Structure 1
């Protein structure tokens, strides 16, 4: 257990540096920003992609979409393999993917070949991958998402719906999600009113304060309408994919009424904050409103399932 926890801590720190490799992809290739549909025959479909117009199989069952398994699962599709860094995976998806084999995050060509996918869905910028587009396309028809689709998980749901012949399912899951957001927004408004909320990720003994548009912070502020403390307002939106740690002394300026602290169980950062007089003097700490989340994975990702789980975490902590 101690060895596994040590590995998870190391993995979390590694993720600080590479988490946004995938989400930042797509800045170099130019292509149409929309996916349009047109059938070529009963077994194929033609779509616009980051590589221009491509024809892909309409009835593929063995799908590989590394790092975007969230969108597949939202549409009821289990991938042939799941994105991983060594043995570490996107934990929030494991209830559905625990029996699915892993594939390394940089997609070694030999590993892709071994999984024998019938369709491969990748991000538009290929720099994160070990192989080239041609390498993967030789293994199976390969679809490259546009930059717009990579950045917008709702667009991913719509695009995957077209690719997989599940457009009706895509519309329904998006509509259901909006209902979830509306209900949660009402509950939170009644529960905490104008109280402010912040999110901090403790990775090792470093702390990362979520800007207003950083991953799950969009769920809090843009979708649920939760109020930003002054320090978050001063930071403004994140303009790069890079994470910048914040000192405990700077955190003393955090005037949030509630703080969600993302930290693995036993993380060093938890003890550091508990022993810090400057941190203990902040409003959230003084009032016992530090809400520790031991699985940061859905909070540090974007997707329909990630957002749903984040909303569940928020309601569990704040709505009594």
Structure 2
């Protein structure tokens, strides 16, 4: 009886061990077979890090050779082309310091940072641009190691149409460039209409600047000071002697000024310390007081920061400023 019981106990023990071994084997199979747990294989593996798609690039030809640039740049750093890039909707994240004094750009540059003048390479690196556009190339090699860099020398474009088309192409925003030009043409036409009957169609208009050193200059249609707005948009006439000048800027002596005088004269004064001494001397001079524009009250003294600017957004804004001042002065002179 004892032997029989022992045999039964041993048999039961062997059976229990067999079940236990089968269970362990089943557990191992479950871990190795996702179907057993209804868990998709992808969910049991560690997911790979999501990679950003590579930006599409295109070749852009420059004087320094072909440069591979993004077809749609997302973060642009520039020195002196802030307004040109903003005009076509580019995201300007860094720009030289004087751009922040441009009254036409202040709102649009609220999110941008000062990259210095000359441009500070370390600051540019912090901003992580995917495109850099510079007027001056002193740091070109260093900047090119940060991101694709385009050197666009001053004077590459000669008027607002060429400028907007150029930067629309650079920013991959040809549609926005076309829209800007359409808006510019519309505003220019409206301005010309407002001036009908206000100024004589044969009257001449001159742009002048006095410096804090007493230097006197006259400007053409593409050197800032409102040239694009006056001559291109509003189609007002230059003084004949300046119309044929090859240079955009000509320095004048006070004695030669009457030869370059216009029926309407717009003077900006470069006087960073706001001393006003040279302007006072000019106004008190016999030459200045003897000008027809002085006698007819058609001289306008304009703010440097507002009229120095020549980017497309500034030019657009200057149209209204010139039209308004001419209309107001005409009303004043009637009294």
Alignment TM-score > 0.5, same fold: yes
Aligned ranges 1:284-303 → 2 under 5 Å: 284-294=293-303, 296-303=304-311
Q: State the TM-score, normalized to the length of structure 2.
A: 0.70
How far apart are the structure 1 equivalents of 2:155 and 2:211? 30
How far apart are the structure 2 equivalents of 1:131 and 1:255? 42
How far apart are the structure 2 equivalents of 1:150 and 1:90? 21
- Number of corresponding residues: 269
Kindly tell me: are residues 156 and 225 of structure 1, through their superposed partners in 2, closer, same or farther at Cα, counting changes over 3 Å? closer
Contact kept, 8 Å, 1:78 with 1:97, in 2: the verdict is no
Q: State the TM-score, normalized to the length of structure 1.
A: 0.72
Q: Residue 136 of structure 1: which of 120, 123, 143 is its match? A: 143
Aligned ranges 1:1-320 → 2 under 5 Å: 43-50=55-62, 51-84=64-97, 89-98=101-110, 100-123=112-135, 128-132=136-140, 134-145=141-152, 149-193=156-200, 194-204=202-212, 205-211=214-220, 213-215=222-224, 216-233=226-243, 236-239=244-247, 243-263=249-269, 267-294=276-303, 296-320=304-328
Task: Find the structure with the greater CA-based Rg.
Answer: 2
How far apart are the structure 1 equivalents of 2:54 and 2:145? 22
Q: Which runs of 5+ in 2 are unaligned?
A: 1-52, 329-335
Q: Which runs of 5+ in 1 are unaligned?
A: 1-40
Contact kept, 8 Å, 2:100 with 2:109, in 1: the verdict is no
Kindly tell me: are residues 227 and 161 of structure 1, through their superposed partners in 2, closer, same or farther at Cα, counting changes over 3 Å? closer
Kindly tell me: are residues 129 and 255 of structure 1, through their superposed partners in 2, closer, same or farther at Cα, counting changes over 3 Å? closer
Give 1:172 shift.
Answer: 0.6
Contact kept, 8 Å, 1:221 with 1:228, in 2: the verdict is yes
Give 1:318 shift.
Answer: 0.5
Give 1:89 shift.
Answer: 4.7
After superposition, the C-alpha distances for 1:267-297 in whole angstroms (9 at most, x for unaligned) are 3332122211221110111111111111x24
After superposition, the C-alpha distances for 1:73-128 in whole angstroms (9 at most, x for unaligned) are 2123341112136x9854542343255321223323223223332211234xxxx3
Contact kept, 8 Å, 1:84 with 1:103, in 2: the verdict is yes
- Report SS of the residue matched to 2:281: helix
Kindly tell me: are residues 163 and 45 of structure 1, through their superposed partners in 2, closer, same or farther at Cα, counting changes over 3 Å? farther
- Report SS of the residue matched to 2:115: strand
